[in-house]
Structure 1
Amino acid sequence: MISFSPSRTLRSLLTCAVMAWCGISHAQQVLRVTAIPDESPTELARKAAPLMKYLESKLGVKVEYTPVTDYAAAVETLVNRKVDLAWFGGFTFVQAHVRSGGKVIPLVQREEDTRFRSVFITTDPGIRTLADLKGKDVSFGSASSTSGHLMPRSFLLQAGLDPDKDFKRVAFSGAHDATIAAVAAGKVQAGALNVSVWEKFVADGKVDTTKVRVFFTTPTYYDYNWTVHADMPAALREKLTQALLALSRDTAEGKEILELQRATRFVPAQADQYKGIEAAARSAGLL
C-alpha cells in the first residue's frame, strides 16, 4: 500500500503551480544560459556566477551557465533552443535574429550599451590616426565580434581604409583581452577592441599604458544584450526581464553583479536598435 503525506502533496501542488505560472514545464526546471566568449573562459565564469545565483533566487529554478567555444556556437545554441538565455554582442544578436527568422527577442542591455564604443590601440609611436594603419599588421577580436571587428571595420571603411586591401596582415585574436596581449607583445602593430575591456585592463593595472595607448575611439553604437528565444513563455520572459531590470547598485548583491557586468544598470532593449549594426554587417559583406 502506498501512503500519501498531505503536507508533501500540498508542497508538490504548490511547486507545480509556481512552475506553471513561470511558464517552465515540469521537465524543464533548469534555465540554461550562455554568453559569447569575448574574454577568457575563467573571466566569463567569474562574471557569470553571482548573476546565475541571483536569477535562481528570483525565478525559483536552477540556473546553469554553459560556456561555448566560439561566437557562432553561442548563436546556434540559442537558435536551436539548446539554451534559454544568451549574452550577445550586437552583431551576434543580428546573426541570431536573421538565422532564426526573427525568433529571438532582446530583453535588456546595459545602459552603457546604448552608447558603446571601440578603441584602436598600438605601441607604435608612428601610428597616430587610422590612416597610419596602412601597410601594418592589425588584429581584430573574433570575426563575429561587434566591438572587436564589425564596428571597427565599418569605421575603417568610412575612413577610406579597406582592411583586406590596405593592411599588410589582418589577424583575429579571438577575444578582446587577447587583442591587448597581441599588441603589447608586438605580434601586431595595432588592434581594435571593446572599450569596456580596455578600461578594465587599465583600471586593474593589467596593461602598461606607457607602452600601449589608444589612438582612436569610435563614435557610439548599440551593442550587447541579453536575448531569449521567442518560444520562451511570456510569463517567464517577463519575470526574467524584471529580475534583470531590478538589479541596483544600492544593494550589495546588485552592486557586485553590476560591477562584474561592467554596468551602471540594465535597461530595456529593442530589436530595432540593432538595424544599424545589421546594415553595417551587410555593407561589409559579413552577413
Structure 2
Amino acid sequence: MTHRLMWLLGATLLLVTPVASAEPFVFTAIPDEDETRLQKRFQKVADYLTDELDHDVRFVPVKSYSAAVTAFRNDQVQLAWFGGLSGVQARERVPGSRAIAQGVEDTEFRTYIIANEDTRLETDAGLSDEMRDLSLTFGSKSSTSGRLMPEYYLREHFGEPPEETFSRVGFSGNHSRTISLVASGAYQLGAVNYAVWENEVEAGEIDTDAVRVIWKTPRYPDYQWTIRGDIDDRFGDGFTEQVQQALLTMDDPDLLESFPREGFIKADNDDYAVIKEVGNELGLLDP
C-alpha cells in the first residue's frame, strides 16, 4: 500500500510540476538588412520551426557576418542562415557541418552595381573606365553578394584590386545601408544583393531616378542554411533530417516573402565549391 501511495504521489507530481525544458535549438542569420527587420523576419521562422520540430527553437540576432560565423563555431547556435562565403567560412571552422537547404533563387544569385545619378552613368551601362576614380562601397566584408563576388568580377574586368580602381572603397555593413549611402551621394557606387534591391524597389523604398543599376554580375550560388554536424548526438537520431524537411516544406507565403524566396530546395557543401575557390583566391578564408 505504501509503495502504491508513493507511486500515485509521484504520478501526481509529474502532472503538476513542469518538466525541465530540453536544450533549446538555436539559430541565427547574417545581418544583411537592418536589425528590426531581421528580428521580425526570423522570429516568425523560429515559431514555425518550434511547431514543426515539436522542440523549443530560438532565434538569436548577431551584429555582423563574422559574429554569425563565430557564434556557429562556438556552438552558441546550431543552425544559421548564411551567405555563400560566411557559410563556407563556418563549415571550414566546424568539421562535419553541412549545408542542408538553399532558396530556389540561391542557385543563380547575382549582385547589382548601383550608381548615384550625379555620376551620369546610365542604367545598364555596364562596367567601364568612367567608373574609375569614383568612390565605391561594398556591403559587409564577409558578404558574398556585397563583397566577394562583385570584387572578383571588378578585379577581373579592371585587372587590379578595387583600391587601385576607385578613389575610395568602403564597407557599409549591410545591403540596405549600401543603397542608402549611394542614394545620398555619400558613395557614388555600391555593390548590392539583387534580391534586397528588387524587394525595396517593389516596396517603393528606392527612388530609381536618384540611384540606378548600371551592371549585373553573372550568376553564382549564395545563401544557404548550414547545420552543425553534432546535432543528432545532442537532439536525437534523425534531427538533422527533420530540420531539413521543415525548411524544405516551408510554404507559407508570408514566411517565404520575408527572405524573400519562392521556396527552399536541398543543398550540400559541394554546391559552394566556386565560393570556396574565390574566397581562397582573395584571401578571405584565412583563419
- Pick from 73, 76, 80: which aligns with 1:86? 80
Residue 151 of structure 1, aligned match among 134, 149, 152: 149
2:135/2:166 contact within 8 Å kept: yes
1:74 aligns with 2:77: no
Deviation, 1:4, is 2.9
Q: How much has 1:130 moved relative to structure 2?
A: 2.1
Task: Tell me the equivalent position of 1:209.
Answer: 208
- Amino acid of the structure 1 residue aligned with 2:230: D
Residue of structure 2 equivalent to 1:114: 107
Q: Distance in 2 between matches of 1:4 and 1:61?
A: 28
Residues 83-119 of structure 1 deviation map (CA, whole Å, 9 limit, x = unaligned): 111110000011112222x332111000000111110
8 Å CA contact 1:222, 1:273 repeated in 2: yes
2:239 counterpart residue number: 236
User: Which of residues 20, 37, 49 in structure 2 aligns to 1:43?
Assistant: 37
The answer to whether the 8 A contact 1:120-1:192 is kept is yes
Structure 2 counterparts to residues 92-241 of structure 1, below 5 A: 92-100=86-94, 102-123=95-116, 124-126=119-121, 128-131=125-128, 132-161=130-159, 162-233=161-232, 234-241=237-244
Once the two structures are superposed, residues 144-179 of structure 1 have per-residue CA deviations (whole angstroms, 9 ceiling, x without a partner) of 000000000011112124202111110100000000
- Helix, strand or coil at the partner of 2:152: helix
Residue by residue, what CA displacement relative to the aligned partner does 1:189-226 show, whole Å, maximum 9, x if unpaired? 10001000000110001010111110000111110011
Question: What residue in structure 2 maps to residue 278 of structure 1?
Answer: 276
- Report which stretch shifted further, 153-162 or 71-80: 153-162
| CA pair 158-7 structure 1, distance change in 2 beyond 3 A | farther
Paired position in structure 2 for 1:22: none
Q: Contact conserved, 1:40 with 1:175, CA < 8 A, in 2?
A: yes
Post-superposition shift, 1:133? Answer: 2.0
Unaligned runs of 5+ in 2: none
Match of 1:4 in 2: 9
Larger radius of gyration: 2
Secondary structure of the equivalent of 1:159? helix
1-structure distance, mates of 2:12, 2:52: 24
Letter in 2 for 1:277: I
2:231 aligned counterpart, secondary structure? coil
2:88 and 2:264 map into 1 onto residues whose CA distance is: 20
Instruction: Give the TM-score normalised by structure 1.
Output: 0.88
1:245 aligns with 2:248: yes
CA-atom RMSD in angstroms: 2.1
- In structure 1, the residue corresponding to 2:9 is in which secondary structure? coil
Alpha-carbon shift at residue 5 of structure 1 (Å): 5.5
- Cα deviation, 1:33-55, whole Å, max 9, x if unaligned, reads 11111110001111112211110
TM-score normalised to structure 2 length: 0.88
2: CA distance, partners of 1:195 / 1:64: 28
Compared CA separation, residues 60 and 140, structure 1 to 2 (3 A): same
Question: How many Å apart are 1:126 and its aligned residue?
Answer: 3.6
